[in-house]
Amino acid sequence: MTFQAGKTFINLPVKDLKATMDFFTALGFAFNTQFTNDNAACLIINESTFAMLITEPLFRTFITKEIADAKSSTEVLVALSVDSRSQVDELMKIALASGGSPASDPQDHGFMYSRSFQDVDGHIWEVFYMDESAVPQG
């Protein structure tokens, strides 16, 4: 039997929910208000993928370990595909103008182009375009 999940929910701790929501709103994302309140916000990535942005006090109730400080260590790398190289650059430009910071140098492998940024909480988001017809056959 092969397992396949339905919807995907990425749970991320945040220090300031409003600042985090403002950041992702500036990038053009929307939120599911049914699952958004003063302690958490449901960021809609696509019709089956969501990021639950959860205030640190509430996040602590779900875990037994310490919360990683995403500004000094990496706990997750979220990668989002887009439709073109120009969309990669545009999203990066908006992220930086909205309080994000670069996470690494741009990567250009010919068939795939990516850039990454840290959001206001330090979580790393990679945005990439891949031309599947140009992927080297190995």
Give pLDDT tens digits for 12-52: 999 999 999 999 999 999 999 999 999 999 999 999 999 99
> What's the pLDDT score for residue 81?
94
Give pLDDT tens digits for 88-97: 999 999 999 9
State the span(s) of the chain assigned CATH 3.10.180.10: 7-64, 75-138
Phi and psi at 58, nearest 5°, equal -70, -40
Judge whether 65 and 44 are in contact, CB under 8 Å: no
Give pLDDT tens digits for 42-85: 999 999 999 999 999 999 999 999 999 999 998 899 999 999 99
State the average pLDDT over residues 108-136.
93
Read off the pLDDT band of 133 (50, 70, 90): confident
CATH number 3.40.50.720 given to 75-138: no
User: Per-residue pLDDT for 138 more than 90?
Assistant: no
Beta strands in the chain (DSSP E): 8-14, 30-32, 40-46, 49-55, 77-81, 101-108, 112-118, 124-130
Read off the pLDDT band of 6 (50, 70, 90): confident
3-state secondary structure of 5: coil
Whole-number Å distance between alpha carbons of 115 and 40:
27
CATH number 3.10.180.10 given to 7-64: yes
